Structure 1
Amino acid sequence: MIPDFYTHREEWPALIEQIVELLGRVSALEALSERGLELRRMNRIGSVHSSTAIEGNALSLAAVGRIASGGAVFGPQRDIQEVENAFAAYDALETLDPWNVDDFVRAHGLLTRGLISEAGAFRTVDVDVVGPAGDVLHTGSRHEKVPRLVSELLEWVASADDHPIIVSSAVHFLIEHIHPFRDGNGRIGRLWQTLILSRWRPLFAWTPTETLVRRSQEGYYSALQRSRVPEIDAASFISYMIDIILRSLHEYELQSISSVTDGGRNGGRNAAVLAVLLGDPTLTAVELADVLGTSSRTIDRTLQSLKASGLLRREGSTKSGRWIVVERGS
């Protein structure tokens, strides 16, 4: 039986209410947009790039986009395999049951196929989570307890009466705490939170949540650690994820507004460019064209249009600068 492992914070209900309102607005905007599928594709590419990059994958967003399109990519074979696996796992979301242990293990197998010998199997040794300096941050649960703990956790998820945003964040934390696999625990934790949220509202399968986590990666690990020390209380991590979810929906709203208000094919392209640049503001025009599967000339025209309309500006040089996406009204 899973004991209580988090305390509620008084600000959560108001923040969740904001999230629900945003979900309604974004869903309405998506229904009006002619390019909703393109935005979803861009966010999926960003999610895969971010979730694998958090774990050290060196492939660029442009390279991940080429993999999504079935194109050739030059890079470390392990990194390419890891990205292909991530796409397979996210594509399988609709077939996964968030309360089912077999599906949990199967999803891990999809994420780590060809990367580790224990793909799709609970670990059979004890593990430590080590920080950048080599210090032990956390010791995973004893390996012989892992199957029972995961089973109890997913049973708890199935019967939990808290809000899905709180429950999914709490589950994400406890997956990282148990550390049920030799490798891939971060990826499966983020995927499983997305799965639980998408069962509540399907839009969450396409929101740029992982992209926001990557942008505040230090905060992600800090929130995990604060939730373990001096004793387990996942409230800090839940608060962190609520903020990430809120900001990811604000970002999706910006993408959707751009798609609807600019209208037609150009509006969809504008929104897609903004979505990609929110994920990686260092991309060049050539790399943007690669991700979006269009010509550099088309991207140059789109960038000029976005700058002229005040939605985009450039800071720094052509080679080492970055793009700044400007929210309307700011």
Structure 2
Amino acid sequence: MKSPYSITNKTLMLVTAISEKLGEINATYLYKPATELRKKNRIKTIQSSLEIEGNTLTEEQITALLENKRIIAPQKDIVEVQNAIKIYEQLNQFNPYQLKALEKAHAVLMNGLIDHPGKLRTTNVGIVKGSKVEHITPGGAMVKGLMKDLFEYLKKDTDLILIKSCVFHYEFEFIHPFIDGNGRMGRLWQTLILMQKYPVFEYLPVESLIKQKQTEYYNKLSESDKKGHSTPFIEFMLEIILESLTGLLQSQSVILHTTDRIDLFKEKIGKIKFTRKDYMQLFKNISAPTASRDLKWAVNEGILTKFGELRLTEYQFL
């Protein structure tokens, strides 16, 4: 069953703008940021997502935990961060189209924080804010069926992945499939869905913008609940994605080093033999001597095998 939502003019405008930004990112090799930036963005993502859920740890404290240093903080907050670090390190191992993978990821994310992590709820719950019931979730007996339907939609619907990822995020929060950890799981899973097609999302700190607009985030979830369709939430999340991509393009003037170029070329060429000319076709702004130095470095490092000499020289990734 297809989840109810509309493709509005605003949705189409946002999708077009996002697609243009993704094109710019691919053209400037920003889809795989340098190692230091990847680490920084991941820390920002973990800190933002968990702060939304009430975690008190700073980016500096999370950095210390990543480096296996001891910190003084509430034990629950430390466990939440350690679990989040683990899940982001394993992110590529989870199939976003499998319910079992989602349950497994929840088990890692909520390990040591709740009873039976990774198990879909079978009891009824309501979401309370202050003294007011904010959202009545579907009954526990319905959860498994609703989640199976949601994954069927994700796998089979023909809408754009940008839109489907937002719909999944909203419907996941509406179903509230676990006793706890639904907010961080919904945001994580949207990232996982998007990065299958657009690798930049693995390192894009979308969470930090959601944190800055936390009140609006919850308001759009609530507005979608009241309207009975996820259109307001889809538009909000597309705006967040566009803002994140715009910020990435504005903040990064990329200087590619030898290792960056070799990594990027390996992704593109795979195991096919190639020449220096082929290499320079991808990196049009480098000189022939720079290309030769890159390739010589990769051969010396045991990354490439070299065949032939002079103009007949070819290379292949090991």
Q: Please, what TM-score do these two structures have when normalized by structure 2?
A: 0.77
TM-superposed deviation, 1:186: 0.3
**Residue of 121, 137, 142 corresponding to 1:140:** 137
Q: What do residues 98-126 of structure 1 show as CA deviations (whole Å, max 9, x unaligned)?
A: 11111010011111001001211111211
Query: Is residue 2:232 matched to residue 1:236?
Result: yes
Could you report, residue by residue, the CA deviation over 1:135-172 in whole angstroms, capped at 9, with x for unpaired residues?
00101111111111111101110011111111000000
The equivalent of 2:28 in structure 1 is 29
Kept after mapping to 2: 8 A contact 1:176/1:189: yes
3-state SS of paired residue (2:252)? helix
Paired residue for 2:146?
A: 149
Q: Distance in 2 between matches of 1:67 and 1:4?
A: 40
**Matches for 1:1-330 after TM superposition, within 5 Å:** 2-30=1-29, 36-131=34-129, 133-229=130-226, 231-257=227-253, 259-260=254-255
Task: Give the counterpart letter for 2:114 in structure 1.
Answer: I
Mapped contact 2:31–2:200 kept (Cα < 8 A): no
CA distance, structure 1, for counterparts of residue 27 and residue 65 of structure 2: 31
Instruction: Read off the aligned partner of 1:138 and give its amino acid letter.
Output: H
| Secondary structure class of the residue paired with 1:227 | helix
**Percent pairwise identity:** 35
1:227-284 Cα deviation digits (max 9, x unpaired):
000x411000000000000001111112322x54xx88xxxxxxxxxxxxxxxxxxxx
CA distance in 2, matches of 1:247, 1:136: 32
Q: Which moved more, 1:86-95 or 1:182-191?
A: 86-95
Tell me the amino acid that sits aligned with residue 9 of structure 1: T
Rate the CA distance shift 1:247–1:168 in 2: closer, same or farther, 3 A. same
Using the alignment, how far apart are the partners of 1:172 and 1:93 within structure 2?
17
Q: Is the 8 A contact 1:39 1:255 kept in 2?
A: no
In structure 2, how many angstroms separate the alpha carbons of the residues matched to 1:42 and 1:29? 20
Distance 2:123 2:22 in 1: 42
2-side partners of 1:206 and 1:28: how far apart? 17
Report the secondary structure of 1:181's partner residue: coil
2: CA distance between counterparts of 1:242 and 1:31? 20
Q: 1:182 to 1:21 in 2, by over 3 A?
A: same
Provide, for residues 284-325 of structure 1, a one-character-per-residue CA deviation record: whole Å limited to 9, x for no partner. xxxxxxxxxxxxxxxxxxxxxxxxxxxxxxxxxxxxxxxxxx
Name stretches of at least 5 consecutive residues in structure 2 with no aligned partner: 258-318
2:9 alignment partner, SS class: coil
- Aligned-pair CA distance for 1:177: 0.2
Unaligned runs of 5+ in 1: 265-330
Secondary structure of residue in 1 paired with 2:248: helix
Provide the rounded CA distance (Å) in 2 between the counterparts of 1:25 and 1:3.
Answer: 33
Secondary structure (helix, strand or coil) at the match of 1:106 reads helix
* Contact in 2 for aligned 1:85/1:110 (Cα 8 Å): yes
| In structure 1, distance between residues paired with 2:245 and 2:67 | 26
CA–CA separation in structure 1 for the residues paired with 2:237 and 2:139: 27
Taking the aligned partners of 1:90 and 1:246, their CA distance within structure 2 comes to 22
- The CA RMSD measured in Å over matched residues stands at 1.7
